Structure 1
Amino acid sequence: MTPSAPLATAAGPDLLGPAEVDRAAERLAGRIRRTPVLPFRPGLRLKAEHLQHSGSFKLRGAANAVLALGARSIVTGSSGNHGIALARLAGELGIELTVVLAGGASPDKAALIRALGARTVAVAGGVAERELRAAELARTTGAVLIPSSDHALVVAGQGTVGREILADAPDTEAIYVPVGGGGLLAGVCLAAWDRPVRVIGVEPAGTPRYARSLAAGHPLRLPACDTVADGLRGQQPGTVTYPIVRDRVDELVTVTDAEVLAAAVLLGRQGVEAEPSGAVALAGALRSGGPERAVAVVSGGNTPAALRAAAARHQLFSPNSLPSPSLSSPEEQSR
């Protein structure tokens, strides 16, 4: 559903609209890589965010928030890639960072976060418990909380993915976007707000939180899900992301773990090393198989091999790579 008027969604002290994506692009100039749109097959191209600095699109939202807020101490909850992006920035800017990880988080992603110099805190349970712990740490320590998706500056930063697609491939008729917490989907919705392009969100079949929430007419919390797409285990839409998605997304589709892994194999055959979460949008595009000129966002390339290589490089060359004592109790620390 392509609306005719700009969005005016309240998100903190300012209104979040397409112009915020433009401001994010200005702020991020020189900080992020303008990733290419690659051919995949006739009628279908790939937005190569697996080539982004830090290995995923998450750097865009993380950097936009960090640069705008100017915080010196940050807490976040992350499945891994947002934490990696923040840890990379924190190391460059001398920021103290604590990353809260839920049960089932990738050990390799946690190891790279620590190699980059950040603290990690492990909590039992799913994404909901992770977010509660991150908010508690921010309150008790005075650190600034930068969520992985449900934050106006993060959403605006992620929207630069869609902005670049529409600039570099202006004939695009549909954009397929992987959906976890919804920050990337909401950002692409903002970038495409008044443009004649369809935006399709692709969710793991085991946790279709946006599809069910939109059907119910309000955000729902789903049980924790153990999908192979470890970066897309969010349990409910956010307060910032939900109204944007509700008012602009054209379609939501679900894909099985088998379809995700098959899409990752296809990407690998073309030299695109994507983690399972990064192959979800392609899986959705392949399932839909429409005649439109489409772009699928390959959102991340942090495979175990890539993560281990990156951690080894940082441990070898960075004198500050050893983690500091955690803000958590010893039993909560992920080591």
Structure 2
Amino acid sequence: MSAADTRLATATGTPVGPADVLAAAERIAPHVRHTPLLRCDSLPGLPGLPGPSDPPGLLVKAEHLQHSGSFKLRGAANAMLALGADEVVAGSSGNHGIAVATLGRTLGIRVTVVMAAGAAESKELAIRALGGRVLRVPGGVAERDRYAKEFAARTGSALVPSSDHPLVIAGQGTVGLEVFRDAPELDAIFVPVGGGGLLAGVCLAAAHLPRPVRVIGVEPERTRRYARSVAAGRPVELPPSDTVADGLRGQRPGELILPIVRHRVDELIGVDDAAVLRAMDLLHRAGIAAEPSGAAALAGALRSGTLRSGTPGRSAVVVSGGNSAAVLAAATAAAR
């Protein structure tokens, strides 16, 4: 165990560390795409960007171009490859389920996805088209995840959570690993926060960096469970939310994730639906086909003032997914 891993394990008590992210990158390499980190000068239409002679102020990690349409493939691949099970169950708002079903089809693994009542129908149809079985349950994300856990215990299926699992966190952390390797002079990274696995994974990836990078999580204003939990000093569970960012509707912080967030995250920003939709529109006009959840990090950067003209340094935003209803309809038709 490296010094960084030892310090983190001591500080957080978690069984996952920076070395696990490095191992995940090697394990999942044949199954994931190293997505591009787009420079600000390739994003016309975004306000307040530096001029041509200024240093870049914004980079976009284009995980909407990942296989399966989101970063979720990374955590799912790391868990499914390491577990080696022939049948898995996952609770998902959609993108994790699509990722698990995509891998299930490739690897010959039977997949069951548990979705809450309010999850997008377009994402359910995409999972089914990939050969996954979908079970709908009443309630929100918390009830969905409890049912998935019970289903795994009852059937003997391997449980592949969408975020709060060491293998999933490590796999999702490879997003940060790629960003930091591609932009070694980065000053800050904005990460959308749903279950929190991506945020925790990016924190782990940042642990080995030779220079400090600010890690900023962006939550929907109505579901700020990590901000409220950090402030309260204990896990806080919120009621189900109807935010437009359907992939960020988590109700309770992850048991493994919260200590990492508390220990390493520099700031947690809340954004309302109007800000998310504005950010998504800006990305679409720039040719980035983000879904609402995928635009949340940019909304947070806009709120923070990072993109104001004259802001020094370089920041990155993670566009975590692009599985809009229109994109999924085309993919579903092609999968059949």
TM-score for the superposition, normalised by structure 2? 0.90
Task: Give the root-mean-square deviation of aligned CA atoms.
Answer: 1.3
Do the aligned residues in 2 keep the contact of 1:174 with 1:198 (CA within 8 Å)? yes
- Please name the residue that 1:122 is paired with: 136
Matched, 1:281 2:297: yes
- 1:6-45 matches, cutoff 5 A: 6-8=7-9, 9-11=12-14, 15-40=15-40, 41-42=49-50, 43-45=57-59
Deviations 1:110-139 (A, max 9, x none): 000000001000011100110111011111
Q: Secondary structure at the match of 1:31?
A: coil
Q: Secondary structure at the match of 2:123?
A: helix
- Please name the residue that 1:153 is paired with: 167
Q: Give the Å deviation of 1:39.
A: 1.9
1:49 to 40, 63, 86: 63
- Please name the residue that 1:324 is paired with: none
TM-score for the superposition, normalised by structure 1? 0.91
Tell me how far apart the structure 1 counterparts of residues 7 and 111 of structure 2 sit (CA, whole Å): 35
- Please name the residue that 2:323 is paired with: 302
Q: Give the Å deviation of 1:234.
A: 0.4
Counterpart AA for 2:166: A
Tell me how far apart the structure 1 counterparts of residues 5 and 331 of structure 2 sit (CA, whole Å): 45
Tell me how far apart the structure 2 counterparts of residues 310 and 26 of structure 1 sit (CA, whole Å): 28
Q: Give the Å deviation of 1:10.
A: 4.7
2:275 to 256, 259, 265: 259
- 1:1-335 matches, cutoff 5 A: 6-8=7-9, 9-11=12-14, 15-40=15-40, 41-42=49-50, 43-195=57-209, 196-290=212-306, 291=311, 292-315=313-336
Counterpart AA for 2:8: L
- Please name the residue that 1:331 is paired with: none
Do the aligned residues in 1 keep the contact of 2:68 with 2:99 (CA within 8 Å)? yes
Cα distance change, pair 137–205 in 1 and its aligned pair in 2 (3 A): same
Deviations 1:11-69 (A, max 9, x none): 5xxx3110100000010112100001112343011000000000000000000000011
Counterpart AA for 2:334: R
Do the aligned residues in 2 keep the contact of 1:6 with 1:194 (CA within 8 Å)? no
Tell me how far apart the structure 1 counterparts of residues 187 and 208 of structure 2 sit (CA, whole Å): 13
Q: Give the Å deviation of 1:5.
A: 6.7
Q: Give the Å deviation of 1:6.
A: 3.5
Cα distance change, pair 218–309 in 1 and its aligned pair in 2 (3 A): same
Do the aligned residues in 2 keep the contact of 1:28 with 1:64 (CA within 8 Å)? yes
Deviations 1:211-231 (A, max 9, x none): 000000111101111100000
- Runs of 5+ in structure 2 lacking a partner? 41-48, 51-56
Tell me how far apart the structure 2 counterparts of residues 205 and 166 of structure 1 sit (CA, whole Å): 28
| Percent of aligned pairs with the same amino acid | 64
Tell me how far apart the structure 2 counterparts of residues 4 and 141 of structure 1 sit (CA, whole Å): 35
Moved over 6 A (4+): none
Do the aligned residues in 2 keep the contact of 1:180 with 1:231 (CA within 8 Å)? yes
Q: Give the Å deviation of 1:71.
A: 0.8
Tell me how far apart the structure 1 counterparts of residues 29 and 193 of structure 2 sit (CA, whole Å): 25
Cα distance change, pair 4–73 in 1 and its aligned pair in 2 (3 A): closer
Q: Give the Å deviation of 1:264.
A: 0.3
Q: Give the Å deviation of 1:194.
A: 4.2
Q: Secondary structure at the match of 1:278?
A: helix
Tell me how far apart the structure 1 counterparts of residues 126 and 120 of structure 2 sit (CA, whole Å): 10
Tell me how far apart the structure 1 counterparts of residues 140 and 146 of structure 2 sit (CA, whole Å): 10
Do the aligned residues in 2 keep the contact of 1:10 with 1:16 (CA within 8 Å)? no
Deviations 1:152-189 (A, max 9, x none): 00000000000000000111100000001100000000
Tell me how far apart the structure 2 counterparts of residues 132 and 194 of structure 1 sit (CA, whole Å): 35
Q: Give the Å deviation of 1:100.
A: 0.3
